[in-house]
Amino acid sequence: MSNNITMKDIANRLGVSSVTVSKALGDKEGVSDELKQKIKELAQEMGYRYNTLAKAMKDGVSYNIGVIIAERFTGMAQSFYLQFYQHVAKSLEEYQYSGILHILHEKDEAQQVLPRIYYEKKVDGFIVLGQLDKHYIEALQNSGLPLVLLDFYTDKSDVDYIITDNFYCMYELTNYLISNGHRHIAFVGSLYSTSSIQDRFLGYYKSMLEHRLTIGNGYVIEDRDEKGRYIDFVLPENLPTAFVCNCDMVAFNLINDLKKRGIKVPEECSVVGFDNDIYSTITEPPLTTVEVNMQEMAQTAVKKVIKKVNNKTTNAGRVLIKGKIVYRDSVQNIN
């Protein structure tokens, strides 16, 4: 078991008090530079390690933030949020905070069982990564701890959300298709399944409206049922020249589907996705898509929880973070 040097030990060796050692190591006023220097050197030499726990207890905070991810988001194909968590953990480091990951089981979510780290005061606040049951969010709010929701939002207006600007990104992406000569453009995604899909659809729709283009018959194509299970696509009789997919995985599936029907991508039909995840590069051809700015989203979320922990009241609201279009080979210029 490692060493266990305390400030008192250093103080004793130097014949000073532990108060002085505390001031010196904390670079506080009221210790001569000379003594400070000496103390720091000895601390180094003795292999002193600061005990955060003691400070934490004094301050009444833990210097930890809990990050909650629903178990269903952590499956194999869905590493997206674990990826995201990494950025959150990194951002927390910058504030001398640590992240504690809590994988939320379905049952606990349904019964509003808060994480153990809450009941043990191990965290000063929560970041929720990915959509959760509304009642669970309410339970978290009632806990009184600072709360920031990352990568989704609901109709509750008294909460902080940090989200990708789905609407605007998809608007831009559709504009891009149109500038490439496309007029018959379909959308792939079930509009009632998540708010992200809805907003992406609306961005697509705005672009269409702005360009006075109409959405053809059967041009809004379902990709999953009410339980979120993926279903087979029902393609319209008159094929569009381009498909806007709500995510890369669906674009991947669609392209395979089109290929099976003997339709060449992008020569006969263009396809774009969203997320810039693994599916965008696996696809043949690689996908033109939108890359989410995880890093900035994570940083923003972290900044916000920590501000709230420090009692700086902030206005609740949605913060939209812009993504960027990644141009690859799945769009044909048909001008």
Partner DNA sequence: CTGAAAGCGCTTACAG
What residues line the site for DNA (CB under 7 A)? 4, 6-8, 15-20, 22-23, 25-26, 28-33, 35, 50-51, 54-55, 57-58, 60
By a kind-dependent CB cut-off of 5 to 8 A, residue 198 interacts, out of DNA, a second copy, none, with: none
Shortest gap between Cβ of 282 and a second copy (angstroms)?
Answer: 6
Q: Interface with a second copy includes 76 (CB under 8 A)?
A: yes
Q: Check binding of 209 to a second copy (CB under 8 A).
A: no
Closer of 21 and 306 to DNA (Cβ): 21
| Alpha-carbon 255 to chain mean position | 27
Sequence-distant (6+) residues with CB within 8 A of 20 are 11, 31, 35, 39
Query: Which two tokens mark 198?
Result: 């809805």
By the rule CB under 8 A, 60 interacts with a second copy: yes
Dihedral sign of CA atoms 158, 159, 162, 168 in order: negative
Least Å distance, CB 12 to DNA, is: 11
> How many angstroms separate the Cα of 191 from the Cα of each of 54, 145, 179, 227?
51, 33, 25, 13
Q: Are 259 and 231 in contact (CB under 8 A)?
A: no
Sign of the CA dihedral with 115 first, then 119, 121, and 124 last = positive
51 binds a second copy (CB under 8 A): yes
Residue 93 as a binder of a second copy (CB under 8 A): the answer is yes
Residue closer to a second copy (CB basis): 191 or 316:
316
Give whole-number Cα distances, 218 to 184, 239, 274, 281, in Å. 12, 10, 21, 28
Among 19, 50, 264, 317, binds a second copy (CB under 8 A): 50
Minimum Å gap between C-beta 48 and DNA is: 7
- From the list 29-37, 118-126, 185-193, 297-305, the region that binds a second copy by CB under 8 A is 118-126
Residue placing its CB nearer to DNA in the complex, 57 or 282: 57
C-alpha to C-alpha distance for 170 and 11, rounded to whole angstroms: 62
Minimum CB distance to a second copy smaller for 85 or for 204: 85
- 99 part of the interface to a second copy, by CB under 8 A: yes
Q: Closest distance between a second copy and the C-beta of residue 192, in Å?
A: 27
What tokens appear for 305 in the block? 């929880």
25 is a contact residue toward a second copy (CB under 8 A): no
x-or-dash pattern for a second copy, window 238-277, by CB under 8 A? ---------------------------------------x
Structure tokens at 23: 């001031």
Q: Which of 21, 68, 100, 186 lies at the binding interface for a second copy (CB under 8 A)?
A: 100
Which positions lie near a second copy, rule CB under 8 A?
1-4, 49-54, 56-57, 60, 62-64, 74, 76-77, 79, 82-83, 85-86, 89-90, 93, 96, 98-103, 116-122, 143-145, 277-278, 282, 311
